[in-house]
Amino acid sequence: MKFTRKQYVRALKVVISVAFFIVLFSFVQGKELMAMFRRIDWLYFTLSFALLPVMLSASCLKWKVILGDKGRHISFVQLLRIYAVGYFFSNLLPSTVGGDVVRSYYSGRLLNNQALAAVSIFVERFTGILLLFFLVAFAPLLAPELYRTPYILVPAGAGLVLLAITWCLLRLRDPLALPKKFLELTFSLLHAFSTWTGSALVAKAVGVLEGGCGFILQKLQRVRTELDNAMSAFRQDRVYLLRVVLLTVLFYFLTWVNVYISFRAFGVTPDFLHVCALVPAILFAAHVPVTLLGNLGYFESVFVFYFLLIGIPGAETLAMGILLRLKMLTMGVIGYIVYLFYTHKRKEEFAGLENFTRQ
């Protein structure tokens, strides 16, 4: 039986996820973790779950604002349903179809315009990621001593660099012109070197490298095009821009509250300013897709590592991380229930989604 590349990647992610949990439980004793769950504060536990629909509504409201008049005929409830289905694909279904792709596909069908749907998803994600870059760089000012550790300083520097790159993509007429010329010169020299050596292996390596760089440039060009579309909309309506920014800020504030309340559910009272300072760096690191099902294992490990920096023991943070995971799984289950009633032709729908991802 021959396995595909996607199956190998999926299997590797499963192995990495298991490895992260093995490392986690090597640092945290099972008795300590069970003790944390025995002392649950049910008031904060309930508040933690009650925050889920608030965060989901904030995300959907932002999406509704981004769609504007063109999405006027799509109700807020319809967007909630699509968002919930996206949670199911992201957090419960180990497939190549991500939540954003699902939301783009289904909203595109309602809009009868897949391009508009894709742009709305991009703008929603881009504004969130752009604010994340800013918070990674500057949120530690709330607890300046954290800059002394490279685990905060390096992400902060990376956030500043990514903000600068984004600025260049937005402001320069053709920001990729110089990189393209540099790569053309580099690969002409590499091809000449390959011909001189006469080695098929060197020629193949140069070809693979050239293809990879071309792929990256193509993606960057697509990002630039989508950024232009988003910025043109923002320039035309400053109130629209302000609403999107405020809703993005609200979502990150709710994220901080979510982590803080989840800690309180286990009787742990972290300093809220430290939570605000650390969470952006955690989310920044946790965006790397190294495991399946919402970065299972890796996500929890990053939380444990960063909160050790402010003296919160691993058992407390792991319990909090498991609660966050439980809430994501709950959203996934709700999304699955919505998905069951969303269509009567699920096989055809899933096939359509798979085809959509290849476009």
Is 253 inside any structural domain? yes
Considering the domain boundaries, does residue 359 fall inside one? Answer: no
Tell which phi-psi region holds residue 137, choosing left (phi > 0), alpha (psi between -120 and 50) or beta. Answer: alpha
- Tell which residue, 256, 270, 257, 345, has the closest CA to residue 307: 270
pLDDT of amino acid 48 = 95
Burial class (CB in 10 A: 0-12, 13-18, 19+), 355: exposed
* 27 alpha carbon, distance to own chain's centre: 27
DSSP letters spanning 170-206: HHSSSTTHHHHHHHHHHHHHHHHHHHHHT-HHHHHHH
Residue 51 pLDDT exceeds 90: yes
Give the CA radius of gyration of the chain.
22
Answer for the pair 256, 133: CB distance below 8 angstroms, yes or no: no
How far is C-alpha 133 from the geometric centre of its chain's CA atoms?
12
- Of 241 and 144, the one with more pLDDT: 144
Structure confidence at residue 142 as a pLDDT band (50, 70, 90): very high
**Residue 344's pLDDT band (boundaries 50, 70, 90)?**
very low
Please, how many CA atoms are within 13 Å of residue 38, restricted to the half-sphere of its CB? 6
Q: Residue 38: which domain range?
A: 5-353
Output the CA torsion 209→212→217→222 (10° steps): 170
Q: 89-129 pLDDT, tens per residue?
A: 877 765 545 778 888 888 888 888 887 888 888 888 888 99
Structure confidence at residue 113 (pLDDT): 81
Give the least confident one: 27-41, 111-125, 268-282, 345-359.
Answer: 345-359
Per-residue model confidence (pLDDT) at position 272? 96
DSSP 3: P
Amino acid at 60: C
Let me know if residue 342 belongs to a domain.
Answer: yes
Res. 353 pLDDT band, cuts 50 70 90? low
Instruction: Tell whether pTM > 0.95.
Output: no
Round to whole Å and give the CA distance between 226 and 216. 15
Residue 214: inside a domain: yes
Helix (H, G, I), strand (E, B) or coil at 21: helix
- Judged against a pLDDT cut of 60, whether residue 269 lies above it is answered with yes
To which residue do tokens 């998905």 refer? 339
Tell whether the model's pLDDT for residue 350 goes beyond 90.
Answer: no
Buried-state track 278-313, b at ≥16 Cβ within 10 A, e below 16 = bbbbbbbbbeeebbbbbbbbbbbbbbbbbbebeebb
The answer to whether residue 42 sits within a structural domain is: yes
Q: Is residue 314 part of a domain?
A: yes
What is the domain count for the chain? 1
Residue 116 or residue 160, greater confidence = 160
Question: Is 358 part of a structural domain of the chain?
Answer: no
> Is 83 within a domain?
yes
